[in-house]
Chains A and B, each alone.
Chain A
Amino acid sequence: MVKKEMQFPIYMDYQSTTPMDKHVLDAMMPYFTEKFGNPHSRSHSFGWESGEAIDIARKQVADLIKADAKEIVFTSGATEANNLAIKGAAHYYRSDEKKHIVTLKTEHKCVLDACRHLEQEGFEITYLSVRPDGLVDIKELSESIRKDTILVSVMAINNEIGVIQPIGEIGRICKEKGVLFHTDAAQSFGKIDMDVNEMNIDLMSISAHKVYGPKGIGALYVRRKPRIRLEPLINGGGQERGVRSGTLPTPLVVGFGKAAEIAGERMVEDYQKIKILSDKFQKEILSIPDVYLNGHKEFKWPGCINVSFAYIEGESLILSAKELAVSSGSACTSDSLEPSYILRALGVEEELAHTSIRFGFGRFTTEEEVDFAIGLIKKSVGKLREMSPLWEMAQEGIDLKSIKWSDH
């Protein structure tokens, strides 16, 4: 086999999106041109052809989470799926006796923002704190469920720190207490085993582009037995069982199905490869003094490593290691200088939160790339600390907390 030459920058931002698998693109191509029919057209073969392709894809997606194809509602992505699950369930089940939702402070922005929106409509939301390792306290979660609770929404794998919440346990508690359980599985679908029945999941949000599929397509799993009802966000022709109107984008749906099929076939292989590479990376990076791993060490997806490099601004490290495409834990990338709300929820001090970087590992990460990244980070950290007044003070034994800084 010819060795693939290393390309720069090295992609280490698999949490934000993934490159599409070539096989996925091949599967999609015919549906842009010759097989262009509207899958909802029932009166001619163009429509039947597209409709059949949709049916196959729907089953491919369902199979990966042990669901029935009829339980899959295609959406534009996980953001829409999360909105549909939370607002849809809240609106449908709302009554004087039911008006409460439980979620975590470390959920994705779209879950938190949907909840904020519901608060304005009069719903009550409990935003649970997490432990310093990023995991939810099961007892606390159980106690937060009230008589008027409609839904509990807890993500599976966290997008910033990679921790895996105890979805099975949460599902069991929700079932016992008779409340709906929604999980945002954008980061976990196709990467770890997700079984909607074993885990008692009622609603699950999925994204295609996080698992080497196309952007612009995702799905919401909606349990049928017992049937979960949702008020649609989008009204129209009544497609997707009336829950999500609009013509389905056949090529995207086909690509999503293919990506799910490949993810199922390669799940074990991908996981093992990613684990070996990220373990090596983590061990090497944590051997640098004053470097800290954020989130639980074991209950996590190995493809996500979030590290704080004390005394260095995350952004300056990203600039210095520009051969790596990574994301800063501090949200400088989103035009704000506020450090990550997720790290803050873990109790990571603001100073340290500012120094964190998220590294992502995926199907196409190579050992050569990981070795290069390790060397580059070690070199950059050394160089930046060399000129950091904070590092100098720390080396002199000055407690930085004893100084009255001029925060602004």
Chain B
Amino acid sequence: MAYSDKVMNHYENPRNVGSMDKADKSVGTGLVGAPSCGDVMKLQLKINKEGVIKGR
């Protein structure tokens, strides 16, 4: 397979993976890609009142 060690490492030891409550007003959700291309990606950010970002 033509994947770099770094990619494989993240694949085998996933970091920052999971879901946050998308109904939470402090959570922003983005979704890109298409299932027909097999590359759907979801990114969620949780931002508090002070503007500190917690990403997922």
Contact = CB atoms under 8 A, between A and B. Distances in A.
Nearest to B42: A389
A330 B31 CA distance: 23
Interface in A346-405: 349-351, 354-355, 387-390, 392, 400, 405
17 contacts: A313-B38, A313-B39, A314-B38, A315-B38, A316-B11, A319-B3, A337-B37, A349-B36, A350-B36, A351-B36, A354-B36, A354-B37, A354-B38, A387-B14, A405-B36, A407-B34, A407-B36
B32 interface: yes
Interface in B14-39: 14, 17-19, 31-39
Contacts of B52: none
Interface in A297-327: 313-316, 319-320
A316 B8 CA distance: 11
A405 B19 contact: no
Interface of B: 1, 3, 8, 11, 14, 17-19, 31-42
B35 A390 contact: yes
Given A313-B38, A354-B38, A392 B33 contact: no
B13 to A, nearest CB: 12
Contacts of A408: 34, 37
B39 to A, nearest CB: 8
A406 interface: yes
Contacts of A355: 38
A218 B8 CA distance: 39
Given A389-B40, A390-B40, A405 B14 contact: no
A319 B39 CA distance: 15
Interface residues of A, number: 24
Contacts of B36: 339, 349-351, 354, 405, 407
A378 to B, nearest CB: 18
B35 A319 contact: no
Contacts of A406: 32-34
Nearest to A332: B38
Contact of B31 (A313, A351, A388, A389): A389
Contacts of A330: 38
Nearest to B29: A389
A309 to B, nearest CB: 12
A62 B8 CA distance: 49
Contacts of B18: 387
A407 B35 CA distance: 8
Nearest to A335: B2
Nearest to A322: B1
A91 to B, nearest CB: 40
Given A392-B19, A400-B35, A407-B34, A319 B40 contact: no
